[in-house]
Chain A
Amino acid sequence: DAKTTQPPSMDCAEGRAANLPCNHSTISGNEYVYWYRQIHSQGPQYIIHGLKNNETNEMASLIITEDRKSSTLILPHATLRDTAVYYCIVRVARISDMRFGAGTRLTVKP
C-alpha cells in the first residue's frame, strides 16, 4: 500500500537547484512528510520533515502544498555528493512503522 509516488530518476546539473517531487494524495491530517536519502553503500540519512508548513534546514528545503497532497524537496545548490536515492515517506511521528518506497535516484552531473 504505497502512500507516496516519486519519479524513479532525475538528473540535475551541479550548482543548480534540484527539485524532487512527491505525491501523497491520501495523507492523513496527523501524518508528517519525511525525506531521507541513501548514498551508495550507506544507510539512509535523514534530511528534513514537515507537517504543513514549509521547512528549511542546512541541507534542504521542504515545500508542502496547501492541500498537503504533494511536496517538493529542494536542494538549493546540488553538488556531486548529492547523488543518491531520495525517499519521501509519510507517517505519524508518534507511531513509528516507517516504510520506504522505491525513491528517486538523483544524479548530479558536472
Chain B
Amino acid sequence: GAGVSQTPSNKVTEKGKYVELRCDPISGHTALYWYRQSLGQGPEFLIYFQGTGAADDSGLPNDRFFAVRPEGSVSTLKIQRTERGDSAVYLCASSLPGTGVAFFGQGTRLTVV
C-alpha cells in the first residue's frame, strides 16, 4: 500500500481480554514505531524497531504490553489482560533509517469496557 496501514481501525474488548493490533509499514521502511495517544495528549512513545529487533522498548508501560516484528515488516502490538486504562488510540509509524521522517497510520482506537 501507499501508506502505513493499521488494523483494525476500532477495537472494543472486555477488561481482562487479550488483544492484538497490527501495523503494515510502508514497503522498504526498516524503522517502525508504536505510540499510544489518550484524548487531549500528545502521542506517547511505546517501542521502536529497527528491522526485526526492538531498538528501544523503554516506553512500554508494563509487561502486559509486548510487540513483535518477526520478518522486519509487519508488526503486532499485543496487550494481555487489558485494563480500562489501556483505552486509547494506538498509532504506528514507519520511516527510512537515518531520515527521521516518520509516516503515521490512522491509528487503532482501542476501547476496554
Residues in A neighbouring B25, C-beta threshold 8 A = none
Number of A-B pairs, beta carbon distance below 8 Å = 63
- Encoded as 1 (CB less than 8 Å from any B CB) or 0, chain A from 21 to 52 comes to 00000000000101010100011111001000
Question: Is B43 touching A96 in the complex (CB atoms < 8 A)?
Answer: no
Label chain A's interface by main secondary structure.
loop
Nearest Cβ on chain B to A64's Cβ, whole angstroms: 15
Say whether A98 contacts B33, CB under 8 Å.
yes
Q: How many residues of B contact A (CB 8 A)?
A: 29
Q: Are A93 and B98 in contact (CB under 8 A)?
A: yes
Identify which of B68-76, B77-85, B99-107 touches chain A.
B99-107
Question: 21 A-B Cβ contacts within 8 A?
Answer: A34-B101, A36-B102, A46-B103, A49-B101, A85-B42, A93-B100, A94-B97, A96-B33, A96-B95, A96-B97, A97-B56, A97-B59, A98-B45, A98-B48, A98-B93, A98-B100, A99-B45, A100-B43, A100-B44, A102-B42, A103-B42
A interface, CB within 8 angstroms of B: 32, 34, 36, 38, 42-46, 49, 85, 87, 91, 93-94, 96-103
Q: Sorted from nearest, which 9 A-B pairs have the closest CB atoms?
A: A43-B104, A93-B100, A100-B42, A97-B56, A100-B43, A99-B45, A94-B98, A44-B104, A46-B101
